[in-house]
Amino acid sequence: MPSTPLPAAFLPFLLLLSCFASCGSAKSILRTLPDDPSFRLSTGRSRSPNNQYCDSWRLSVETNNAGKWRTLPAKCISYVGAYMNGEKYQSDSDVAAHDALIFAKDLTLAGDGKDIWVFDVDETVLSNAPYYADNGWGSESFNETSFDDWVYQAKAPALPSSIKLYNELLGLGFQVVFLTGRTEIQRNITEQNLLDAGYHSWERLILRGDSDIGKKAVTYKSGKRAELEAEGYRIHGSSGDQWSDLLGLPMAARSFKLPNPMYYIS
Ligand SMILES: *[C@@H]1O[C@H](CO)[C@@H](O)[C@H](O)[C@H]1NC(C)=O
Ligand SMILES: *[C@@H]1O[C@H](CO)[C@@H](O)[C@H](O)[C@H]1NC(C)=O
């Protein structure tokens, strides 16, 4: 569990939960799934006590008030399904990407190839929502076997807001680094999935090597950021769905938390 207190710079992220102009046009990345009515949030303001509780639970998770949590509350399974399957997830992600882009556009880059943006992979540039849709949306304990089976299919779609941000950042002259908790064994399949999803180039894809196995994500990822900085890279921005993608020194100049109510990684 990250022990660093949340920097004040993260507070604007709370604005994520408000719905901006992109709301109406967002498209679910799970549109191919059957249209299960139990996964549909009622339009307008739902008065369901569960929905209200689960909305608050999600805020607690996203702000890290919840700290370490294992599986989502049983009464929130259909809420999380509706959130992930509906337009709100896309909208929240769009706003995070939009805020990141506003920050990125304001920067003056040195143009020496050392200006980087770090992206996490799972639930950041690639979405495993189709897997979680078939596995209780995070209500079941993590099954490494079935999740790895999914990873080896290399079928995870791109998060639409992230691939858009990725392309904009490349256009602005950033180098992109992917920093993932996946292991070296999964390098090829991860590269294939990234390419198939539309991520055509990157400065580096960093996966857990032998010496990284067993490290907490926050330790592993901040350690890799330290190595990048030691090589002269300037980490302007970082995007991730877990606080452990973002916290720990050195941090990026700005960090952007993407939504994920399905699981927590410390
Ligand atoms: C995990 O997934 C595998 C492959 O789908 C399955 O055979 C196994 O029963 C699952 N384990 C648990 C504990 O659910
Ligand atoms: C990854 O791909 C490269 C070349 O395509 C190949 O040489 C290598 O053996 C592959 N590694 C794994 C672990 O599959």
Quickly count: other Cβ atoms within 10 Å of residue 156's Cβ: 24
Quickly count: other Cβ atoms within 10 Å of residue 42's Cβ: 10
Half-sphere exposure of 6 (CA within 13 A, CB side): 16
The pLDDT score that the predictor gives to residue 50 is: 86
- Verify whether ligand 1 is closer than 6 Å to residue 43 (CB atom): no
Contact 118, 177 (CB under 8 A): yes
Positions in the chain whose pLDDT score sits under 50:
1-6, 10-26, 31-45
The pLDDT score that the predictor gives to residue 202 is: 98
Contact 131, 152 (CB under 8 A): no
Query: Which residue out of 140, 141, 145, 147 has the highest number of ligand 1 atoms within 8 Å of its CB and is therefore the one to mutate?
Result: 145
CA distances from 64 to 1, 58, 158 (A): 10, 10, 25
Half-sphere exposure of 29 (CA within 13 A, CB side): 26
Cis peptide before 157 (omega within 30 of 0): no
The pLDDT score that the predictor gives to residue 48 is: 73
Half-sphere exposure of 144 (CA within 13 A, CB side): 2
Atom of ligand 1 nearest to the CA of 143: 1
Query: Which ligand number lies closest to the CA of residue 150?
Result: 1
Tell me the whole-structure pTM to 2 decimals: 0.84
- CA 208 to CA 179: how far, in whole Å? 9
- CA 2 to CA 215: how far, in whole Å? 13
- Verify whether ligand 1 is closer than 6 Å to residue 143 (CB atom): yes
Nearest-CA residue for ligand 1 atom 13 is: 143
The pLDDT score that the predictor gives to residue 115 is: 98
- CA 195 to CA 144: how far, in whole Å? 24
Contact 96, 74 (CB under 8 A): no
Delineate the domains of the chain, giving CATH numbers in brackets.
52-257 (3.40.50.1000)
